[in-house]
A and B are shown apart, each in its own frame.
Chain A
Amino acid sequence: MTDVRVVLPVHLRALAKSGREVVVAVPGAELTQRALLDALELAFPVLGGTIRDRGTGRRRAFVRFYACEQDLSNEPPDEPLPPAVAASLASGAEPFLVVGAMAGG
């Protein structure tokens, strides 16, 4: 189990009734985006369907995932995160950012 800091966009903070950042416990030996997001939705069920499409499980079109100044949005969700990113998330040095994309007004 790895504790990971997750930064939420403002609208999802309102739904989760959280601050800017939450900490979620991610199971598994290796960190993957799917495991991290599953843990986030388990801790905050109200976020179900708001980050990933309920039907397909895919990232919603205007949501992005960043960490350690890297765009992870299009990385395969079941691939282990790059070792340096995983180490930074696991140590708490860096958060995983869920971002509402710049798209429209």
Chain B
Amino acid sequence: MTQVRVLAGTRKGAFVLTSDERREKWSVTGPHFGGWEVYHLKGSPADPSRIYASQNTGWFGQLIQRSDDGGLTWEPAGNDFSYAGGDPGTHLWYDGTPRPWEFKRVWHLEPSPTDPDTVYAGAEDAALFKSADGGASWTELAGLRTHPTGSSWQPGAGGLCPHTIILQEPRIYVAISAAGTLRSDDGGETWRVINRGLLSDGIPDPDAEAGHCVHHVEAHPAKPDTLFMQKHWDVMRSDDAGENWYEISGNLPSDFGFPIGVHPHEAETLYVVPITSDSLHYPPDGALRVYRSRTGGNEWEPLTEGLPQRDCYVNVYRDAMSIDTLESAGVYFGTTGGQVYASPDSGDTWAPIVRDLPAVLSVEVQVLP
């Protein structure tokens, strides 16, 4: 029987939520790694029983956990994220002075689509690491951080976080707040900045080559050159592998937000969760609405059935939305209020799986045969 597994990372541990393909009744296990921040956990497409998790606290630092049985049991993997080279160089600090690159935490884990032992990690400050041994050891792909624009990158409020990793091997896309989006066509050795068309009012030169606060990027597997971006402000699209971007915010009530999702069977169907503004991190009018576009952007419809439409002041973080691959695609997102919502009908109706988790940092979904 087909099973659906939702992996939720929260401020105080990880939770595993499971259901059958009807996605009506759910069981919840956790917290795993209780008390630790779990920024992200994700299963391997090549072996769904293999799950990687990023576990961190300010007290005891970074760990990577690995499960080989679908999240029932976990073992710590390697946590040596040493930057390549003896002298890692510098980036710009908040006060405009050079500051040495320094590892802080892993924001995002992206397992290879073909090899369960290969996984990439996006690490603050602005580093991409790769493991080819199931997370036991990590090697920095330093061409990203040492890109000629790298020394000018400045952290946003959340730090210099590489939060998006899209694998189309040998092509890799990475997005970093607040540097922008970069693409490698050689497996991560060399990189080029791909921000043409982005306009950001919060930086001195609105159309600068780098320095844009990109919040999340997604691609549809069937159209790998088409990218969709939720930027700090603006929802953007590229049809040429990021060479050029154009705005598709259209009739959204706010084009500020964090996650963006693409329907697995409809490459022009998108999902965003509008947030009021960069200083008001909650939905407009206190109404939690997912917006769906079936036209690849610009024309958006609110999806509200089952979602709170009054007195709701939660946020939805950049990695906290995921979409399953069942025929009637399920859409999932988690909130800073600890709810994980599920829609088994592509967003038409919603219901909470759980209501009272710690603040949700990430949501990923797996469909198990």
Contacts and interface: CB of A to CB of B under 8 A. Distances in A.
Interface of A: 9, 11-12, 15, 46, 48-51, 53-55, 60-63, 100-101, 103-104
Interface of B: 35-36, 57-63, 76, 79-83, 102-103
Nearest to A61: B58
Interface core residue of B58, B80, B83, B103 (most chain A CB under 10 Å): B58
B82 A63 contact: no
Contacts of B63: 15, 46, 49-50
A76 B63 CA distance: 27
A49 B80 contact: yes
Tell me the dominant secondary structure on chain A's binding face: loop
Given A11-B59, A48-B79, A62-B58, 14 more contacts: A46-B76, A49-B62, A49-B80, A50-B60, A54-B82, A55-B83, A55-B102, A60-B59, A60-B61, A61-B58, A63-B59, A63-B60, A103-B59, A104-B58
Nearest to B35: A11
Contact of B60 (A11, A55, A104): A11
Contact of B103 (A9, A55, A60): A55
Contacts of A100: 59-60
A7 to B, nearest CB: 15
Contacts of B79: 48-50, 54
A44 to B, nearest CB: 10
Which of A46, A50, A63: most chain B CB closer than 10 A?
A: A50
A49 B82 CA distance: 11
A49 B61 contact: yes
B13 to A, nearest CB: 11
Contacts of A60: 59-61
B60 A12 contact: yes
Contacts of A49: 61-63, 79-80
Contacts of B102: 55
Nearest to A46: B76
A49 to B, nearest CB: 5
Contact of A55 (B35, B36, B82): B82
